[in-house]
């Protein structure tokens, strides 16, 4: 029973990720209504803004508003898109989703490279101090 619930939650997060990518392409689409573009700007401003409705330092409650508002807004905006724009943006986002594992692999290699450089540099500093 618990495993089934975990798969549902994972599927929900995957849907939100796919819809967020779809909204990125909808933002770039010239036929997207200005109202939706304005709401997208407001959502991005909310995500990037340090000001929250409920401060994050409050245990559980502070993060709960972000966990509720952001996915709800993504689903709402995705459903507001006209069907023709949505299908075009889904095609574009599908090609990008195929690239995500490669982008993630390059990102991981980049992080590992910087960690290696930091470790070598730190070991040199420690040798210099001793």
Per the domain annotation, does 112 fall within a domain? no
Q: What percent of the chain has pLDDT over 90?
A: 37
Per the domain annotation, does 106 fall within a domain? no
Per the domain annotation, does 110 fall within a domain? no
pLDDT reported for residue 117:
93
The answer to whether the beta carbons of residues 23 and 78 sit under 8 Å apart is: yes
pLDDT score of 9 more than 80 = no
Looking from the CA of 39 toward its CB, the CA atoms found within 13 Å total 18
Nearest by Cα to 40 from 53, 57, 51, 25: 25
pLDDT reported for residue 6:
56
Per the domain annotation, does 107 fall within a domain? no
Nearest by Cα to 66 from 77, 81, 78, 50: 50
pLDDT reported for residue 8:
74
Residue 77: CB partners within 8 Å, gap ≥ 6?
23, 26, 36, 39, 40, 43
Q: Report d(CA 45, CA 111) in Å as an integer.
A: 28
Exposed, middle or buried: residue 66 (CB in 10 Å: 0-12, 13-18, 19+)? middle
Per the domain annotation, does 37 fall within a domain? yes
Per the domain annotation, does 85 fall within a domain? yes
The answer to whether the beta carbons of residues 36 and 80 sit under 8 Å apart is: yes
Per the domain annotation, does 126 fall within a domain? no
Per the domain annotation, does 11 fall within a domain? yes
pLDDT score of 2 more than 70 = no
Number of structural domains (the chain) is 1
Domain span including residue 86: 2-100
pLDDT per position as a tens digit, 73-127:
999 999 999 999 999 998 888 887 777 788 888 989 999 999 999 999 889 888 8
């Amino acid at each position: 029973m618990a495993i089934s619930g975990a798969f549902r939650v994972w599927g929900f997060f995957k849907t939100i990720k796919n819809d967020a990518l779809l909204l990125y392409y909808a933002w770039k689409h010239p036929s997207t209504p200005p109202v939706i573009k304005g709401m997208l700007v407001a959502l991005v401003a909310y995500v990037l803004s340090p000001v929250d409705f409920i401060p994050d330092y409050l245990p559980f409650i502070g993060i709960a508003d972000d966990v509720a508002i952001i996915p709800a807004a993504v689903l709402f905006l995705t459903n507001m898109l006209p069907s023709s724009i949505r299908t075009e943006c889904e095609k574009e986002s599908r090609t990008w989703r195929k690239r995500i594992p490669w982008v993630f692999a390059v990102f991981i290699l980049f992080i590992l490279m910087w960690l290696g450089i930091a470790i070598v540099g730190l070991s040199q500093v420690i040798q210099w101090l001793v």
